[in-house]
Chain A
Amino acid sequence: MEALILELKKEIIKVLNLEGVKPEDIDNDMPLFGEGLGLDSIDALELIVLLEKNYGIKLDDPGKGREIFGSINIFAKYISENQRK
């Protein structure tokens, strides 16, 4: 799970162009949207692409995304339970 969490943080930083953010800056329980990391609706859509591209998980309902992307821990847990790649 540690390895997945680190990989996930690196991917998020890369794919969302989070300038100046390092994996150690992202707390595992920090909200990714709103306050916390301050991601927005387009970022949420790109995370849906990331889920499918890197982990083979298809998410058709963007509404569900907000729950799954709540924090790194929630995100990583979802991936490890549903991963297809």
Chain B
Amino acid sequence: MKVVYKMADNIISSLGFSTTENMEAVNQGRSGVTFHANEFDVPEPFHASSVQFDRLNVYFETFANVSQYTDFERLVISSVWEAATHTNIDLASPETLFVISTTKGNVYLLDPEHSQEFNTERVNLWAAANEVVSFFKNPNTPIIVSQACVSGVSAVLVAKMYLESGKYKRVVVTGGDVLSKFVVTGFQSFKALSSGRCKPFDAARDGLTLGEGAATIILGITNENSLPDNCITVKAGAISNDASHISGPSRTGEGLYRAIMRTLEGVDTANLAFINAHGTATPFNDEMEAIALSRACLEHVPVNSFKGYIGHTLGAAGLIETVVCSLSLINAQLVKCLGFVTLGVSKNIQVITETRRFEATECLKMASGFGGCNAVVLLKKYN
């Protein structure tokens, strides 16, 4: 039986420029969230997790010309570049497809402060995606998934379908989002931002903390008995809609519950080591996820959110967090839910408060977003 598996990965976030750097910080309980005042010309200060672009540009300049690319493009290209150093796949091969996930790409180019930096077309997501694939000389039209905060998980599921169809041998799933006046002020207008670092599932949670970053997951497909040792496979997944409100989550967790149930069809949940929630720490999101988990009879499974470490990285979130989930499975070690102290949702979910080892080999990664969308993916470690 053919199985989709992870060949290589990368994370770029406030915590570092590789998966190793990021996981080191996570294991030490470090957060990349900091206070920002007078940044991006935004009048109201905010907390966010931002990438050190000075350092990124130095890295980028070692293989490309910084001035030819936007911040978003440099972030994604750097992520793919670094991921590719861990494998010998040919990114330029017609058998390699790029699937790119982002919510706002180069939207900051709409700002008159930046609109002269590149031609007007560059603000389009397809133009940014073309820069990425052209850089790697890949001949295939990239598949661009733009679906709010579920873009990342959706991109993984789209990639899985392309691999299982036999159309491509490898898929580079990559994506990112950058902080900008556009994004920060938008969330501020929603009064959705936290007053400090976010507190997922906590009784005192008061909003989400924005973040920026990129991640890459290079996926391949092979026979089950040919899988490399200790590798992570993408077993199943589903995307569903709440059909209830375009910005607020369903009070019954309808879409997420259905996506969970479709993903877990025929799966023995006793093998779930943990569930990584979307866990943005808004009052409504976390409550919704708890309700969905309860409806799916998964209250007993350890659950966490990674948003306390790196904020909510929007189009990168599903990808970054899937990589962290995969490392957590490989290391057989739970990741603490940073920012959580006291349970603040109506269901008795088991939020992870200490790292400990486990033996189970599967996990669920969940995501929810504006537009009522919800996406879930099931990962499994093969020994």
State whether the Cβ of B248 lies closer than 8 Å to any Cβ in chain A: yes
State whether the Cβ of A41 lies closer than 8 Å to any Cβ in chain B: yes
B190 lies within 8 A of A45 (CB): yes
Majority SS of interface residues in chain A? helix
When chains A and B are docked, how far (Å) is the Cα of A8 from the Cα of B247? 26
- Say how far B77's CB is from chain A's closest CB, in angstroms: 36
B248 lies within 8 A of A41 (CB): yes
B189 lies within 8 A of A49 (CB): yes
A26-85 interface (Cβ within 8 A of B) = 40-42, 45, 48-49, 60, 62
* B189 interface neighbour in A41, A45, A60, Cβ under 8 Å: A45
Output the residue of B189, B191, B245, B248 with the most chain A CB within 10 A: B191
- Say how far B141's CB is from chain A's closest CB, in angstroms: 36
Residue of A nearest to B190 (CB): A45
Residue of B nearest to A61 (CB): B191
Number of A-B contacts (CB under 8 A): 12
Q: Which residues of A contact B248 (CB under 8 A)?
A: 41
B245 lies within 8 A of A45 (CB): no
When chains A and B are docked, how far (Å) is the Cα of A45 from the Cα of B189? 7
When chains A and B are docked, how far (Å) is the Cα of A13 from the Cα of B212? 37
Residue of B nearest to A42 (CB): B247
Majority SS of interface residues in chain B? loop
Q: Which residues of B contact A62 (CB under 8 A)?
A: 191
- Say how far A68's CB is from chain B's closest CB, in angstroms: 14
B242-263 interface (Cβ within 8 A of A) = 245, 247-248
Chain B 188-203, CB-CB to A under 8 Å as 1, else 0, gives 0111000000000000
When chains A and B are docked, how far (Å) is the Cα of A33 from the Cα of B84? 53
Residue of A nearest to B248 (CB): A41
A40 lies within 8 A of B190 (CB): no
When chains A and B are docked, how far (Å) is the Cα of A48 from the Cα of B190? 10
Q: Say which size band chain B's interface belongs to.
A: under 10
- Say how far A77's CB is from chain B's closest CB, in angstroms: 23
When chains A and B are docked, how far (Å) is the Cα of A48 from the Cα of B192? 14
Q: Which residues of A contact B190 (CB under 8 A)?
A: 45
When chains A and B are docked, how far (Å) is the Cα of A49 from the Cα of B188? 11
A40 lies within 8 A of B191 (CB): no
A40 lies within 8 A of B245 (CB): yes
- Say how far B96's CB is from chain A's closest CB, in angstroms: 42
When chains A and B are docked, how far (Å) is the Cα of A62 from the Cα of B248? 15
B178-214 interface (Cβ within 8 A of A) = 189-191
Q: Which residues of A contact B247 (CB under 8 A)?
A: 41-42
Residue of B nearest to A65 (CB): B191
Output the residue of A42, A49, A60, A62 with the most chain B CB within 10 A: A42
Q: Which residues of B contact A60 (CB under 8 A)?
A: 191
When chains A and B are docked, how far (Å) is the Cα of A61 from the Cα of B225? 57
- Say how far B112's CB is from chain A's closest CB, in angstroms: 21
When chains A and B are docked, how far (Å) is the Cα of A49 from the Cα of B189? 8
Q: Which residues of A contact B245 (CB under 8 A)?
A: 40-41
- Say how far B242's CB is from chain A's closest CB, in angstroms: 14
Q: Which residues of A contact B189 (CB under 8 A)?
A: 45, 49
- Say how far B95's CB is from chain A's closest CB, in angstroms: 45
Q: Which residues of B contact A41 (CB under 8 A)?
A: 245, 247-248
- Say how far A41's CB is from chain B's closest CB, in angstroms: 6
Residue of B nearest to A48 (CB): B191
- Say how far B104's CB is from chain A's closest CB, in angstroms: 19
When chains A and B are docked, how far (Å) is the Cα of A42 from the Cα of B248? 9
Residue of B nearest to A60 (CB): B191
Q: Which residues of B contact A42 (CB under 8 A)?
A: 247
Could you tell me which B residues sit within 8 Å of A by CB distance? Answer: 189-191, 245, 247-248
* 12 interchain pairs, CB-CB under 8 A: A40-B245, A41-B245, A41-B247, A41-B248, A42-B247, A45-B189, A45-B190, A45-B191, A48-B191, A49-B189, A60-B191, A62-B191
Beyond the given pairs A45-B190, A62-B191, 10 more chain A to chain B contacts, judged by CB atoms under 8 angstroms and listed by A's residue number, are A40-B245, A41-B245, A41-B247, A41-B248, A42-B247, A45-B189, A45-B191, A48-B191, A49-B189, A60-B191
The 4 closest A-B pairs by CB, nearest first: A62-B191, A41-B248, A42-B247, A45-B190
